[in-house]
Structure 1
């Protein structure tokens, strides 16, 4: 039974890379435009908050990008794979570091992916494996950016609308577009994970739709609930975030994650996962995935209920009269429907990793979202038989796609097979 993943770089991969660059530039431009609107409108507090989110997100993404480039440089064959302009300034350490300090490393990765993808797809040159490798890293970086910047900014947009009690059509459109974009980025990440499965397990339209819907229906009410709470107790939302974030980071640490190749990098990853969990579930460790997921959603449901009840108690009945009852009913119902769609997905559409039927006692049943991670592939030397493996991504995939009760000593061989590019 074969489980090697496809390493062929297609026109779809190239289109996704181009769209990624366009999205990055449009998102950056829109952020600057909104920040300018706040500044020239005299709303300096919101200007500072927005700029702070932009800077935080950019710094986190650049740090991940630099850590990964640093790790990859230590792999055999890196210079051969990245020479000749394959990776923009990839063989110039000081220049690459300067670009990351100037917050341009992420953009350079996008440009490198497009250049290499164009050579492979249009000119039919060698390098398909490394083009796929670059695409996988970008997918993970976009996911990190989404939850470090887009999700907090969406919460801020809804909050400002509630506080000012003004809702223009453009604001509604922007909120809907942002929420949809966040859910789509999660699907894009999921699509990258799927590339580590056999062709028969590739994500179809039905599976993609269900996956998109349950993420949309879980993330949207979570963001709205946070904004509602902030609209009545603005001074407490920061404390709420820090409390939950600290709990989540502690939980990640307790799961003994090993996504990064250094201690400092691993703590950056754990801190980032804590931020992601503030908005959405993300499996990061081997073991009983279902149990952890139930604990997480039970906790978030309880937290959301408390936040919603707090908003209801402290709200201005006159100002919120047009929509308060509708939100009180719609938000919990939407979250419940999202959980039902998630259950439907895992029962009907979720692929499982192949595992030998013999299982040794005491070994974990499930593997994490992060285990088939983009960072787990290795670059080997340029011999004809060598394989280009993104171990980070492969590890996240094995965490995400797992089957209970079928892990054995051959697990490492199965993972190696799974992560072939």
Structure 2
């Protein structure tokens, strides 16, 4: 049987390596601007704002460190042992990994691994690989990239999205906006956009039975769908918070509903019960802002229900603010934000329909090789299969 060279879509390219650096830049910039903003609020005496800004930063860091370490620990069962019998990942022992994650460097260690190995493969190749060896090397790089994209998705919805909501509430509710606040919101916005597309493309590349998302129009439409629906929803929540701070209780209820639904579906993502409960709580946060397929099943009915509620909230928010705060009726503020919410909702839902009707990659089940079969499933492969599948 003649073995052909894998198509370029199956290779970790120089462009993908450069985009990884771009993702690292956005990640660092998002955290740095938020910490600077928290210090600014503290100096100005806005202790609640400073505290909430830091809580979102530290909450996202803590959760991603927990999952990063747990995944490293699981991966140790799939790699070669050192001569001393101690499991390692890229030369790092269990003790080294604990120290790295205690100091919040888990994601950075993953970026370093991916960039270092990717550089050796795509920029300075020193080995003459066979086709099968080359395929394995690139598959390993994509597995590392997918793990990183999943952690970045967690960080996005635990830090960037709530941060954007908080800063919009502060700016719109109190008037005026500093340069640092603009930078914070900009980094949060672009971090959200980046993590959504990067996660989507890495996920579809890592699942053998699902076609990869093509570049160009499909990616642009998907990005518009997600950004428009998420950001219009964030603006709606902002208006409701301006109307009453007790809206935070309603958001907590929505998180509980999403977490409970995930629990009812009995997700099976983590290797331990306690981690699974934390995972479900994180998915509850994600579902508060956008829809994702929790178990990779047909979810047409669930999506219809979810986006019907989404449309109701986005219509009700500006109407309630206009009715309960008559002084804002006809104001430039309410008209502008209301237009952004309604326009974003309509555009987002139109892009959703276009994407899933015309541009959504169809499943393509991989045939097992007559000799090799599908091979033994690794912990990394199980993670991808049991994670959020689409949305």
| 1:25 and 2:24 correspond | no
Paired residue for 1:303? 313
Indicate whether 1:215 and 2:220 are aligned: no
Task: Quickly say closer, same or farther: Cα 1:343–1:37, change in 2 above 3 A.
Answer: same
Distance 1:173 1:122, change over 3 A: closer
- Aligned residues of 2:20 and 2:115 also touching (Cα < 8 A): yes
For structure 2, the 5+ residue unaligned runs are 128-136, 367-375
Do residues 378 (structure 1) and 389 (structure 2) align?
no
> Alpha carbons of 1:145 and 1:95: their partners in 2 closer, same or farther (altered >3 Å)?
same
Deviations 1:317-367 (A, max 9, x none): 2598222134334412321221111100011110111259xxxxxxxxxxx
Matched, 1:337 2:347: yes
| 2:49 pairs with 1:59 | no
Task: State the 1:201 CA deviation.
Answer: 4.5
TM-superposed CA distance for 1:176, in Å, is 5.0
Give the Cα separation in 2 of the matches to 1:242 and 1:108. 33
Which stretch of structure 1 is more off in the superposition, 114-123 or 193-202? 193-202
Normalization by structure 2: what TM-score? 0.83
Does residue 400 in structure 1 map to residue 390 in structure 2? Answer: yes
Correspondence 1:255-404 to 2 at 5 A: 255-315=265-325, 317=327, 321-354=331-364, 378=378, 390-396=381-387, 399-400=389-390
Which piece of structure 1 moves more, 251-260 or 142-151? 251-260
The answer to whether structure 1 residue 114 and structure 2 residue 115 are counterparts is yes
Structure 2 residue corresponding to 1:231, chosen from 234, 242, 249: 242
* Contact 2:37 2:180 survives alignment (8 Å): no
Relative distance call for 1:291 and 1:182 in structure 2 (3 A) is same
| CA distance 1:180–1:267, shift in 2 (3 Å) | same
Over 3 Å counting, the alpha-carbon distance change for 1:7 and 1:351 in structure 2 is: closer
Q: What is the match of residue 193 of structure 1?
A: 203
TM-superposed deviation, 1:129: 3.3
Q: SS of 2:289's equivalent?
A: coil
Q: How does 1:111-150 map to 2 (within 5 A)?
A: 111-124=112-125, 127-150=137-160
Deviation at 1:271, TM superposition (A): 0.8
User: Paired residue for 1:206?
Assistant: 217
2:240 & 2:321 partners in 1: Cα distance? 5
Q: Which moved more, 1:205-214 or 1:279-288?
A: 279-288
Q: TM-score, normalised by structure 1?
A: 0.78
Is residue 194–residue 203 contact of structure 1 (8 Å, CA) maintained in 2? no
Deviations 1:164-215 (A, max 9, x none): 2224677557545533431232111111123145897441211111111111
Q: Separation in 2 of the partners of 1:193 and 1:355?
A: 15
Structure with greater proportional helix content: 2
Match of 1:369 in 2: none
Change in 2 beyond 3 A, CA 1:346/1:311: same
Cα separation, 1, equivalents of 2:178 and 2:332:
15
SS in 2 for 1:35: helix
TM-superposed CA distance for 1:109, in Å, is 1.2
Between the aligned partners of 1:69 and 1:201, the Cα distance in structure 2 is 26
In structure 1, distance between residues paired with 2:146 and 2:173:
40
Q: Could you say if the C-alpha distance between residues 331 and 200 of structure 1 is closer, same or farther in structure 2, counting changes exceeding 3 Å?
A: closer
CA offset at residue 57 of structure 1? Answer: 0.6
Contact 2:201 2:212 in 1 (8 A): no
Q: Which stretch shifts more, 312-321 or 215-224?
A: 312-321
Aligned-pair Cα RMSD in Å: 3.1
State which drifts further: 31-40 or 21-30. 21-30
User: Paired residue for 1:157?
Assistant: 167
> Number of paired residues?
365
Describe the shift of the 1:55–1:199 C-alpha distance in structure 2 as closer, same or farther (beyond 3 A).
closer
Task: Judge conservation of contact 1:88–1:111 (CA < 8 Å) in 2.
Answer: no
Cα distance, 1:74 vs. partner? 2.3
User: SS of the residue aligned with 2:378?
Assistant: strand
1:102 equivalent in alignment to 2:112: no
Unmatched 5+ stretches in structure 1: 357-375, 380-388, 402-421
Map Cα deviations across residues 230-280 of structure 1 (whole Å, 9 max, x no partner). Answer: 11212x132112101110111111112112222122111111111011111
Instruction: Report the Cα offset of residue 114 of structure 1.
Output: 1.2
* 1:385 alignment counterpart: none
Tell me if structure 2 keeps the 8 A contact 1:377–1:393. Answer: no
